[in-house]
Homo-oligomer: A and B are copies of this chain.
């Protein structure tokens, strides 16, 4: 593997392991074994397990933001339909996982926000990036006349993101996508109506 491949492999394996078992219950040794990478190589890329966790969050957040931005840039749809398509795509992924595991950001937010200030700041950064992208989309809808222009788009974007996280948490408990469908319906047919 090239250096870039090795690092990306570790980030991918870390992401799966953290999603499955959380940060505290994931051992670096199990990540190294799965990757077939020696410990020295790990410490070439990451200064500590915490540094690894933060870089996994960055990697995941960048991928998720790129996906969100891709949906928002789709000018064949009106702005609110782009946002709905993004959430619908995420529901398909979660349903394919049997409505378990949830979302890395929500899981680590719950686990780490009170435990590590570095994690808390990184989680806030990743969430804030998504909220900012959603806000841009809502403002486009307001300019198009598809959404009440007197609404506070920043606050609505905050509500979209946190309500989504709550629906994913409830999905994990009820093991069905019904809370995600209630989210889609309540958000797009009630909140984001003109």
Q: Assuming A101-B114, A111-B111, A190-B190, is B169 touching A182 (CB within 8 A)?
A: no
Q: Which of B24, B114, B158 makes the CB contact (< 8 A) with A182? A: B158
Q: Are A162 and B175 in contact (CB under 8 A)?
A: no
**Complex: A101 Cα to B161 Cα, angstroms:** 20
**Separation in Å of the A189 CB from the closest CB of chain B?**
9
Residues 143-176 (chain A) with a chain B CB within 8 angstroms: 151, 155-156, 158-159, 161-170, 172-175
A185–B110 CA distance with the chains assembled, in angstroms = 24
Q: Once the chains bind, are B170 and A161 in contact (CB under 8 Å)? A: yes
What is the size, in residues, of chain A's interface with B at 8 Å between Cβ atoms?
Answer: 44
Q: Does A94 contact B (CB under 8 A)?
A: no
Q: Are A151 and B110 in contact (CB under 8 A)?
A: no
A164 neighbours in B (Cβ, 8 Å): 166
Encoded as 1 (CB less than 8 Å from any B CB) or 0, chain A from 87 to 122 comes to 000000000000011100011011101100000100
Q: A174: nearest residue on chain B (CB-CB)?
A: B124
Assess the B172–A159 pair: CB atoms within 8 A: no
User: Which residues on B sit within 8 Å (CB–CB) of A102?
Assistant: 110, 114
> Which residues from chain A sit less than 8 Å from chain B, CB to CB?
22, 24-25, 100-102, 106-107, 109-111, 113-114, 120, 123-124, 127, 151, 155-156, 158-159, 161-170, 172-175, 178-179, 182-183, 185-186, 190-191
Additional A-B contact list (7), CB under 8 Å, known A106-B169, A120-B173: A106-B166, A107-B110, A114-B172, A124-B173, A159-B186, A162-B163, A165-B170
